[in-house]
Structure 1
Amino acid sequence: MSIKIPNSPEADPSVLQIWGGAPLKGHVRISGAKNSALVLIVAALLCSEDCRLRNVPALVDVTLMGEILLSLGVKITQTGDVLDINATTIGKSQAPYELVSQLRASFFAIGPLLARLGAACVPLPGGCTIGARPVALHVRGLQLMGADVQIEHGMVNAYIKGNRKRLKGAKIYLDYPSVGATETLMMAATLADGETIIENAAQEPEVVDLANFCNAMGAKIQGAGTNTIVICGVPQLHTADYAIIPDRVEAATFLIAGAITYSELTVSPVIPDHLTAAIAKLRDIGAQVVTDSPDCLRIIPGSSLRGTDIETLPYPGFPTDMQAQFMALLSLSEGNSLVSETVFENRLRHVPELNRMGADIRVKNNHAIIRGVPMLSGAPVVATDLRASAALVLAGLAAQGKTTIQGLHHLDRGYEQLENKLLKVGAKLQRLPQSQANISPVSAINSDALIPS
């Protein structure tokens, strides 16, 4: 079954118009985690039998990842949020540039391809323009496992050296706890000969989800969720039926939607432990977050919002993927706030767009100094990356008047049916073609906002 790629944003641009000030009320169903879904789809390449993934979100990035697997000769069938993947036969080891260049996570295929086929050729990755995300950690780890890796003309070529048919176990220390490098090397190690130890590993819930999926297929992985992961390689993996964890970033985004509109919302299913940092900051700002059931959270807004400081860090620290959304909330919080972005060096591009709506935010290096204002005003704005788009939606929900958001291809990469979910809880918004919105072209506002991501 072929998966249809959506039209490009340039071919069929649309905008989201939001009339702010509407109170929200009700329940929001949280979709499967985007960042888990992408890597679990890639991990299915490790298995020479059928695999079934459940709770797969309907996102542009997921569609692209499906297309990449199809291009490698893998069979995929999709029914609702269930994806059946058969990688019994992988027809080729080279992923197509035109797809990989649009999706950062597709680079992770190098690990499973190398483990299964002994060779892989993958273009250097693309994705949101939020900063450099080097693959040096991936490459060094694969080299320690016995791979010869060369980077030429934008392509990463890897193959197992000598007469070996399998990668070999190795002790790998990551200079930085990179999620992508941890996941790539963990997947490669599942089929390696011997034991692999990854030290200073990323501890994100998505890493744990990947380990649990691999273990469901017969891998032997211990320590996921800690900074040391031990993988004992096995000759092959078997079929598995696995449900993806809920999206913690989507859940936190909707909790902020409640706080910024002074509305009570419930979100489920969630894993509250995955949201510890976000919940703590919401409470600092003045909202209550209560647990209605083990997988359901409710936000109760306070009488006022107050500023706080945020520093993004690897998990279990505050997630960089929530920085922009919290900045929208802090722009309406009393007093001064400081947001320090330590993960990506180019992830404050939403600041000019929030300022366009009346926020008072100054940027110095990787710090944003926010002085809370009493109100925001609707304005035409441009989403510059995935999480920035969510921040502008949140700001639009709270602003007076109409906000028109361009660059929705970013939003569609990571939020499943966001506007429909907001409509169901009372938001006033609509998506329509840009030609009907009576606004200036995107290029007049932000010439680089249409870089594919």
Structure 2
Amino acid sequence: MTYIQVIGGKKLHGDIEVQGSKNAVLPILAASVLHNGVTTIHHCPDISDVQCMIRILDSIGCKIKKEGSTIIVDATQLNNYRIPDEYVARMRSSIILLGPLLGRQHFVTISYPGGCTIGARPIDLHVKGLKRLSAEIIEANDLLTCMTTKLMGSEINLDFPSVGATENILLAAVLAEGTTIIKNAAKEPEIEELCEFLTCMGAKVDGIGTGTIAVQGVTALHDCEYTVKADRIVTGTYMAAVAATGGKITLRGAVKEHLEEVIGVVNRMGCITQTSSDGITVIQKSRPNAYDLLRTKPYPGFPTDLQSPVMAALTVAKGNSILIENIFEARYKVVRELIKMGANIEIDGKIAIIRGVKTLHGTSVKSYELRGGAALVIAGMIAKETTEIHSIEYILRGYEDICRDLQMLGANVNYMEENM
């Protein structure tokens, strides 16, 4: 089995190009099945979740061609309404295919999705929203079967601004009859990108980037070409890394407008950030400052996906920090691994109290989910001696090559094979 070995103690210096956004490209790939034709998507990250989505699209009749970071999807021969269980169990975001397949062929069956173990993440908002569009949904034997004779536009007020539910309802509404209005919609940049992609294909979407999205249904879409923006969570992970280790890095392609809250957080941790049209530069000259109270919130608040990487940096901060996790109840699984490395962290429900220590020490740890795994890599870079991170398949779901990126910034981070 492959693991990641980190030898800590090095400051980060240099610049890298940030990969395309995982959370944007997955719904965009799902959206490609709405069109009875060809879509071309550039700057796609080479991560296991994208590979899984490609296999799903192939299994339902799409023809896929990959050229470097470009994926070309020909969905003219769509011929299957059942999403294979093996892929659904592997990737939770496979649920995003409900909306577009219901819109395109009016019938789809999928098992309950798997993925990272960071909380329940119920899909009730997806189901309620699709029912409002005149879909009939049968839940039995761990399967969701969705069908309709015709999707009809409706007004839907989400109880919570769920990203996944917003995406599924939006995708189903594109080919529905009439107008769909989604209130309390998620405003994450990935929603905005999905709307831009759909508009590129000929969908009629208003309110892009706001909490109220209106979709006027169309009867057909057309071929289009789209370039995915840089991944804001990967960007934020590397910002947290340099905040922890010290140094100066430039993240080319990073979108400042997607990271205003994150920039504010690392600045309070003692960093100096410089932004331009080319990307973001982060400079850290000393041990990080503590952060008195940081709460995760839906966008434009601080993203839950960056809570664990920032926590890793705060383990060596000058003073005590408090984090409150408001989105996923099981996001603190990484804490016991950080404690093994010498971190002083106390958990009380949603609250994490981090008392900064001068240094961590290397040991063998295990990742339990995607962002917690990345946090352990950061912890390894600030630890004395060697850290081994196991179960890295979670990390590969969202980071194209975390070792390559950090090596380019001067870190001693490598993939290793266990001796059998």
Category of TM-score, reference length = shorter chain: over 0.9
Determine which of 192, 213, 220 is the counterpart of 1:236: 220
Task: Tell me the residue number matched to 1:307.
Answer: 290
Task: Tell me the residue number matched to 2:273.
Answer: 289
Letter in 1 for 2:402: L
Q: Report the 3-state secondary structure (helix = DSSP H, G, I; strand = E; otherwise coil) of the residue aligned with 2:305.
A: helix
Q: Say yes or no: does 1:392 pair with 2:376.
A: yes
Task: Tell me the residue number matched to 1:209.
Answer: 193
Determine which of 307, 312, 335 is the counterpart of 1:323: 307
Determine which of 238, 246, 254 is the counterpart of 1:270: 254
Say whether the 8 Å CA contact 2:35–2:222 is kept in structure 1.
Answer: yes
Say whether the 8 Å CA contact 2:189–2:258 is kept in structure 1.
Answer: yes
Determine which of 31, 36, 47 is the counterpart of 1:48: 36
- Unpaired runs of 5+ residues, structure 1, are 1-12, 437-453
Q: Say yes or no: does 1:429 pair with 2:413.
A: yes
Say whether the 8 Å CA contact 2:5–2:387 is kept in structure 1.
Answer: yes
Letter in 1 for 2:378: L
Task: Tell me the residue number matched to 1:20.
Answer: 8
Q: Say yes or no: does 1:39 pair with 2:27.
A: yes
Q: Say yes or no: does 1:98 pair with 2:82.
A: no
Task: Tell me the residue number matched to 1:224.
Answer: 208
In the aligned structure 2, how far is the partner of 1:296 from the partner of 1:216? 25
Q: Report the 3-state secondary structure (helix = DSSP H, G, I; strand = E; otherwise coil) of the residue aligned with 2:342.
A: coil
Task: Tell me the residue number matched to 1:247.
Answer: 231
In the aligned structure 2, how far is the partner of 1:93 from the partner of 1:329? 45
Task: Tell me the residue number matched to 2:398.
Answer: 414
RMSD: 0.9
TM-score (norm 2): 0.98
In the aligned structure 1, how far is the partner of 2:10 from the partner of 2:166? 43
Shift, 1:23, TM fit: 2.3
In the aligned structure 2, how far is the partner of 1:191 from the partner of 1:364? 46
Q: Say yes or no: does 1:361 pair with 2:345.
A: yes
Determine which of 47, 53, 56 is the counterpart of 1:59: 47
In the aligned structure 2, how far is the partner of 1:370 from the partner of 1:79? 45
**Per-residue CA shift, 1:337-381, capped at 9, x if unaligned?**
111111001110000111111110011111111100011111111
In the aligned structure 2, how far is the partner of 1:280 from the partner of 1:435? 44
Task: Tell me the residue number matched to 1:185.
Answer: 169
Say whether the 8 Å CA contact 2:28–2:194 is kept in structure 1.
Answer: yes
Q: Say yes or no: does 1:151 pair with 2:139.
A: yes
**Per-residue CA shift, 1:136-187, capped at 9, x if unaligned?**
1111111111111111111110111xxx4x3100000100100000000000
In the aligned structure 2, how far is the partner of 1:336 from the partner of 1:365? 18
Letter in 1 for 2:288: L
Letter in 2 for 1:74: C
Letter in 2 for 1:80: G
- Unpaired runs of 5+ residues, structure 2, are none
Q: Report the 3-state secondary structure (helix = DSSP H, G, I; strand = E; otherwise coil) of the residue aligned with 2:90.
A: coil
Determine which of 108, 120, 126 is the counterpart of 1:132: 120
Q: Report the 3-state secondary structure (helix = DSSP H, G, I; strand = E; otherwise coil) of the residue aligned with 1:419.
A: helix
Shift, 1:53, TM fit: 0.3
Shift, 1:254, TM fit: 1.1
Q: Report the 3-state secondary structure (helix = DSSP H, G, I; strand = E; otherwise coil) of the residue aligned with 1:92.
A: coil
TM-score (norm 1): 0.91
Q: Report the 3-state secondary structure (helix = DSSP H, G, I; strand = E; otherwise coil) of the residue aligned with 2:239.
A: helix
Shift, 1:435, TM fit: 2.2
Shift, 1:302, TM fit: 3.5
In the aligned structure 1, how far is the partner of 2:286 from the partner of 2:65? 49
**Per-residue CA shift, 1:203-226, capped at 9, x if unaligned?**
000000000000000000111211
Letter in 2 for 1:60: S
Q: Say yes or no: does 1:339 pair with 2:327.
A: no
Shift, 1:100, TM fit: 0.8
Shift, 1:304, TM fit: 3.3
Q: Report the 3-state secondary structure (helix = DSSP H, G, I; strand = E; otherwise coil) of the residue aligned with 1:132.
A: coil
In the aligned structure 2, how far is the partner of 1:118 from the partner of 1:429? 48
Say whether the 8 Å CA contact 1:272–1:295 is kept in structure 2.
Answer: no
Say whether the 8 Å CA contact 2:157–2:183 is kept in structure 1.
Answer: yes
Letter in 2 for 1:231: V
In the aligned structure 2, how far is the partner of 1:417 from the partner of 1:19? 17
Report the more deviating stretch, 150-159 or 425-434. 425-434
Determine which of 153, 157, 174 is the counterpart of 1:169: 153
In the aligned structure 1, how far is the partner of 2:121 from the partner of 2:209? 22
Letter in 1 for 2:236: A
In the aligned structure 2, how far is the partner of 1:212 from the partner of 1:251? 21
Q: Report the 3-state secondary structure (helix = DSSP H, G, I; strand = E; otherwise coil) of the residue aligned with 1:414.
A: coil
In the aligned structure 2, how far is the partner of 1:136 from the partner of 1:300? 43
**Per-residue CA shift, 1:258-304, capped at 9, x if unaligned?**
1211111110101101011111110111111111x213111111333
Q: Report the 3-state secondary structure (helix = DSSP H, G, I; strand = E; otherwise coil) of the residue aligned with 1:278.
A: helix
User: Any runs of at least 4 consecutive aligned residues in structure 1 with deviations exceeding 4 A, and if so which?
Assistant: none
Say whether the 8 Å CA contact 2:24–2:194 is kept in structure 1.
Answer: yes
In the aligned structure 2, how far is the partner of 1:78 from the partner of 1:303? 44
Quick one: percent identity of the two aligned structures?
39
Say whether the 8 Å CA contact 1:322–1:387 is kept in structure 2.
Answer: yes
Determine which of 267, 272, 281 is the counterpart of 1:298: 281
Count of paired positions? 419
Task: Tell me the residue number matched to 1:86.
Answer: 74
In the aligned structure 1, how far is the partner of 2:103 from the partner of 2:84? 19
Shift, 1:25, TM fit: 1.1
Say whether the 8 Å CA contact 1:270–1:297 is kept in structure 2.
Answer: yes
Say whether the 8 Å CA contact 2:153–2:180 is kept in structure 1.
Answer: yes
Letter in 2 for 1:46: L
